Structure 1
């Protein structure tokens, strides 16, 4: 990046690979704005389902996605999407219905295109709010959204371990099926970006993963105060 005082960290990976917990910890440790793009797709999915659209209606999704007014609310170090001036609560975007549909909606190219500039715009949101940088998690951050990010990581873990993590969170989520859908879509498939640091978190604790990534960031930013 051109601005040495501001960093962008991209963290990609499948469901329950540790992206969110790691990103939150890094945001706290280095004063970065945390952006969970998965929540953006969940929010869009919940809103489009509410209007009666189905995942197979690509034409309807394309029209609706382009028309939705999107804003960002910053709470603490977390960026949250606002649709029609409203932040959709987690209870509405993490339902079994959204879990079952989000990968199908996310595979629609027009929906991904509608969110492209919005996601990239989160860097300016972070700058405007005085953060040291941005840590953005998702499935195509290091490959599509910020391919020139200062740091790019890809987290993965054994499917059995990821299913255990989801169950421990009290969530119902088909890890294997979502991986298959996300990895096989034509637009921005889930994959480790070329040149990204690949980390297997199966047998690592969260603090160990956070410390591992922090070593990379500290080499650029200096030790944590």
Structure 2
């Protein structure tokens, strides 16, 4: 981790959590944000919302002109409801609709398109520029906020991530097998790591955490400790 402490952030630090699908980023980010009193920005949900819009509008994934036009007329906001962050797409709550296997597969393809990435990059930076935020995604620490004070790269084995996703989907009544789910995770990894624009990779100054075999509480404790350490360091440095 670098010794970076950006001056002028009104609300605190920027914390970036990157990693592959199914590593537990969303769960950990929500809990960490609650402990720190920070705002949780789920960038993956933003891409999923665009993917849902694309499917509904019947726009071709490789039609960059239409994708850019769709992004311009799409409004995405996060609303807190009983401690949970709901995803609103043009005023509609799509929190559940964006979590289906179909949308997951489409999201990986959509997120590789430059017009989509450029549009959401601008929005994400506006949301987080004043600090006091935790952003999760694939390229937060490398592209969106390379100057983030704290960066994590959270991973787990493909088998473990597939198992977690399988339990999540079957609990919702989805008819999937464990083998299919693991294969989908592996395919998503390949797409994310090989895409032309902002491929998934660990930032050079990120703290790497492999959550395979670790409980949520153990991962959370590791991350909170690192953030608290950086908060103290930056407070002391900015006082000088």
TM-score (norm 2): 0.82
| 1:106 corresponds to 2:111 | yes
Match of 1:30 in 2: 36
Moved more, 71-80 or 94-103: 71-80
RMSD: 2.1
The 5-angstrom pairing of residues 72-221 of structure 1 reads: 72-75=78-81, 80-90=86-96, 92-123=97-128, 133-170=132-169, 173=181, 174-221=184-231
CA 1:19–1:69 in structure 2 vs 1: closer, same or farther (change >3 Å)?
closer
8 A Cα contact 1:33 1:77, kept in partner:
no
Deviation at 1:87, TM superposition (A): 3.2
- For 2:84 and 2:64, the matched residues in 1 are separated by 30
Match of 2:235 in 1: none
- For 1:197 and 1:89, the matched residues in 2 are separated by 29
- For 1:77 and 1:139, the matched residues in 2 are separated by 25
Deviation at 1:96, TM superposition (A): 2.2
8 A Cα contact 2:149 2:230, kept in partner:
no
Q: Which has the larger radius of gyration?
A: 2
1:55 to 61, 76, 81: 61
TM-score (norm 1): 0.87
- For 1:101 and 1:138, the matched residues in 2 are separated by 16
SS of the residue 1:191 aligns to: coil
CA 1:76–1:32 in structure 2 vs 1: closer, same or farther (change >3 Å)?
farther
- For 1:27 and 1:49, the matched residues in 2 are separated by 31
Match of 2:17 in 1: 11
- For 1:120 and 1:160, the matched residues in 2 are separated by 33
- For 2:83 and 2:150, the matched residues in 1 are separated by 19
Deviation at 1:77, TM superposition (A): 6.1
Moved more, 163-172 or 143-152: 163-172
Structure 1: any 5+ residue segments left out of the alignment? none
Deviation at 1:152, TM superposition (A): 0.4
8 A Cα contact 1:35 1:78, kept in partner:
no
- For 1:208 and 1:18, the matched residues in 2 are separated by 12
SS of the residue 1:107 aligns to: coil
Deviation at 1:178, TM superposition (A): 0.6
CA 1:179–1:147 in structure 2 vs 1: closer, same or farther (change >3 Å)?
same
- For 1:142 and 1:13, the matched residues in 2 are separated by 10
